Structure 1
Amino acid sequence: MKSALSDQVLDWVRKSVGSETEIRSIKRLHGGISSAVHHISLTTGDVVLRQFDNDEWLKEEPDLARHEAESLRLARKAPIPTPEIIAFDETGDRCGMPAVLMTKLEGTVLLKAQHMERWLDGLAESLVRIHSVQADNFPWTYFTYKDVKELEIPDWSSYPELWGAVFDFVREPRPQVKPCFIHRDYHPTNILWVDDKVSGVVDWVNACRGPAGIDIGHCRLNLAMLFGVSTADEFLSAYEKLAGYSFSYHPYWDLLSLIDILFGSPEVYPGWIAFGVTNLTDQMMVDRLDQYMKSLLKKI
C-alpha cells in the first residue's frame, strides 16, 4: 500500500495500537492547516494521527505533542465525546516528527445546518460542558497570540479610529474571572455531528486553563465571519441560557479574541472551503469583521 506516511511512522502506529494489527487504509483529513492529520483504518479499529510539521509553531511550543496528549486526558472528564489518547511522540525520535495518536470519533463537520437554532444550541451546550471541567492544576495556561502593547491599526478596515478604541479597551486591566478548562480553538470545524446532534469535539492541542469568555469569543468571531453578527449573538444567547449563573458575559473577552486574528488582511478560512462553504469572499471577511467589531464596541 503506497502511503504519504513513512514506514517509520506506520511502524510506530502499529506498535502503539498492538503488534497484531494491520493497516487497511490511510486518508488525509480536511481542515488542518498547521499540522498533518490522517485517518488510519486498522483491522482493530480506526485512529487519527496528527503530525506536527510546522517548524515555526514547534519552535514557539516544542511540547505540542505532550500538550495535546494531556489535554485529551483532561477532556475525557467533560460530559461530551472526545478522542482518547493512544500514544504520543513529543520529540519525534520514534516517528520522525512530534506526533499524537488518538481514537477516531464518529461524525462529520456540519457547516450548513438545516435547523440553525438547534445547531447553535448544540455548539453552546458542548462548550458549557467543557467549561464545567476544573483545571486548577493543568500546567498550560491561556495567553494571547498578539501582544496588546504592540497592536497596529489594520490598513484594510474602513473604521481605523474604531480599532483604536478596541486597542485602548483590551489594554485595560482584565476582568477578574475564575479560570476553567477551555478548548482555546472552539469553532464549528472542530465539532462533529451525527443526525443533528454533536457527536464529539476534536483538536485539543491548544486547550488550557483560562477564561470561558475566550472560547465563547473565538467561536463568536468564527460565526460572525461565516454567517454574520446576528448568528454570533444568537450563539452567545444560547450559551448564556445554558450556563445560567455560572457565566457572566463581558465584552472584553470578545474583543481580545478579535485582536488575536489581526495577522495581515482577512481571508476566507481554508477549512470552511474544505467543508463545502464556497460562497464567501475575502471582501466579505473584511466587511463582516468591521461590522462585528462595531457591534462589540456598542457593548462596552
Structure 2
Amino acid sequence: MTNHDEVAAVRPLTLAWVSRHLDAGERVVRTQVLHGGITAEMRRLTIGTRHGGTRDLVLRTFVNMEHAEDWLNREAAALTLCTGTGVPAPGLVAVDPTASHCEYPSLLMTHLAGQTVLGDEGVETRVPLLARQLVAIHALRPAQRPREFVALTTADTVVTPQGADAAAWAAAIEVIRKPAPPYEGRLLHRDFQPGNVLFDVPPPSPAGTRITGVVDWAATSWGPTDLDVAHCSTNLALLHGPAWGLRFAEAYEEAGGVLAAAASERLYWRVRSGLAFSEQVRLVSQPWREAGRTELTTRAVETRLDAYVTALMNALA
C-alpha cells in the first residue's frame, strides 16, 4: 500500500523526476527522512516493483546551497569512478545538478545496507577497517582530476576554546601560518569519517564487523593523503578521545597508506584539520548528539579538541 502522505513529502517536480528513472511498473511507495547530514536533505525512498517486492533508493537534495551544482557534479563523478572498484559507494542512478527538472539540485543513488556506528564500543575493531578503506580510496585513479582541495581555516579564523592550553594553541596557530608543504596529490574523499561510513556489526561481539558503504562524496577533491587522514583522525579524537585520533594515522600506514615523510609536514596537516574544527564545534557535535551521543555537548567536544591539539603538538612538534 502506498503511503500518500509520506510520498507527498517529496516535492512534486522531484518526485516526477525520480519516477522517470525507475523501471517500468515501479513507483515510490514510501519515504523516510534520513538524519545526520549537515548540508543536504536526505531521504530513503522505498520503491514498489511490478512483481510486488520493494527496493530502496536515496535522494539527496541541496536546498538553497550556493555550491550545489559543483558538489553534485563531484559526487556523481566519484560514484561513477567507484563502480566496480571494490570501494563500496552507492551506485549513481541520476543527477540534476542545476535543478533543470527538480525544485532543487538533486541526486538519486542506490541505498546501501549497514549503519553508522558512533559509540565507543568496538572502536578498536573499526579503526583498522577505516584505515584500510581510506587506503583503498586513495588508490583510485580518476581519468579527470577533481578540483584541488580548499582549506578555509586561517591562522586568524581559529577559535581557541575557553580554558584551552594557550601555549599549545598559539604554537599550533603558528604552524598553519606557514605555506602548505609540497605534496603528491591523490583523490580525496574530503569528509571521510565515522559518520559517512556504514558498518555491519553482527551480534553479540564486534569481532565480525565489516564496512558496507562509504557515503557523502560531494566534497571529493585532489590533494595530500595527509589531509583525509587528518580529518578522520580529528573526528575520532572528538568522538572517542585524543588517543584514537593519534592511532588512526598509525593504522593508515599499517594498512599500506603513505603519509608525508617529515614530521613537520605531518604536523601541518593534522594541526590544520584540528584547528578547522574549532570554528564549527557546535555544528559538528549536534548530529552526534542526535545519533545518541548525548554526552558530547559542545563544551565536552571543545575539551577533547583542546586535548587533541595539545597531544599533536607534544607528539610531532
Question: Structure 1 length as normaliser, TM-score?
Answer: 0.91
Q: Which of residues 207, 223, 230 in structure 1 aligns to 2:220?
A: 207
1:230-267 CA deviation, whole Å, 9 max, x = no partner?
111222221111125x3346121111112222326656
Q: Which moved more, 1:97-106 or 1:3-12?
A: 3-12
> Aligned pair in 2 of structure 1 residues 157, 59: CA closer, same or farther (>3 Å)?
farther
Q: Post-superposition shift, 1:20?
A: 2.5
Do the aligned partners of 1:26 and 1:38 also contact (CA within 8 Å) in 2? yes
1:142-197 CA deviation, whole Å, 9 max, x = no partner?
11022x25335536342334322212111223222211111100110101011311
The residue matched to 1:150 in structure 2 has which SS? coil
Q: Which moved more, 1:61-70 or 1:102-111?
A: 61-70
| Residue type of the alignment partner of 2:30 | S
Q: Which of residues 172, 179, 182 in structure 2 aligns to 1:173?
A: 179
Q: Which of residues 110, 122, 127 in structure 1 aligns to 2:117?
A: 110
Q: Which of residues 258, 263, 270 in structure 1 aligns to 2:279?
A: 263
Do the aligned partners of 1:178 and 1:211 also contact (CA within 8 Å) in 2? yes
Q: Does residue 53 of structure 2 align to residue 43 of structure 1?
A: no
Seq. identity, %: 29
Q: Output the CA distance in 1 between the equivalents of 2:284 and 2:182.
A: 34
Over the aligned positions, Cα root-mean-square deviation in angstroms equals 2.1
Q: What is the aligned residue count? A: 295
Q: Post-superposition shift, 1:36?
A: 0.2
Q: Which moved more, 1:276-285 or 1:180-189?
A: 276-285
Q: Which of residues 264, 267, 271 in structure 2 aligns to 1:251?
A: 267
The residue matched to 1:134 in structure 2 has which SS? coil
Correspondence for 1:85? 92
Do the aligned partners of 1:78 and 1:129 also contact (CA within 8 Å) in 2? no
Q: Which moved more, 1:43-52 or 1:72-81?
A: 72-81
> Aligned pair in 2 of structure 1 residues 259, 135: CA closer, same or farther (>3 Å)?
farther
Q: Does residue 188 of structure 2 align to residue 182 of structure 1?
A: yes
| Residue type of the alignment partner of 2:236 | L
The residue matched to 1:289 in structure 2 has which SS? helix
| Residue type of the alignment partner of 2:83 | R
Q: Post-superposition shift, 1:51?
A: 0.3
Q: Output the CA distance in 1 between the equivalents of 2:175 and 2:103.
A: 45
Do the aligned partners of 1:135 and 1:179 also contact (CA within 8 Å) in 2? no
Gap runs ≥5 in structure 1 = none
| Residue type of the alignment partner of 1:282 | T
Q: Which of residues 95, 100, 103 in structure 1 aligns to 2:107?
A: 100
Q: Output the CA distance in 2 between the equivalents of 1:77 and 1:213.
A: 26
| Residue type of the alignment partner of 1:287 | T
Do the aligned partners of 1:217 and 1:254 also contact (CA within 8 Å) in 2? yes
Q: Output the CA distance in 1 between the equivalents of 2:296 and 2:271.
A: 23
Do the aligned partners of 1:153 and 1:160 also contact (CA within 8 Å) in 2? no
1:69-108 CA deviation, whole Å, 9 max, x = no partner?
1121223364321101111111112010000111111111
Gap runs ≥5 in structure 2 = 50-54, 202-208
Q: Post-superposition shift, 1:141?
A: 1.7
Q: Output the CA distance in 1 between the equivalents of 2:121 and 2:311.
A: 26
Map residues 206-285 of structure 1 onto 2, 5 A cutoff: 206-243=219-256, 246-248=258-260, 250-263=266-279, 266=282, 269-285=285-301
Correspondence for 1:9? 14
Q: Does residue 26 of structure 2 align to residue 25 of structure 1?
A: no
Q: Post-superposition shift, 1:19?
A: 4.5
Q: Post-superposition shift, 1:139?
A: 3.1
| Residue type of the alignment partner of 1:222 | N
| Residue type of the alignment partner of 1:50 | R
The residue matched to 2:98 in structure 1 has which SS? coil
Q: Output the CA distance in 2 between the equivalents of 1:136 and 1:170.
A: 32
Map residues 285-296 of structure 1 onto 2, 5 A cutoff: 285-296=301-312
Q: Output the CA distance in 1 between the equivalents of 2:68 and 2:160.
A: 27
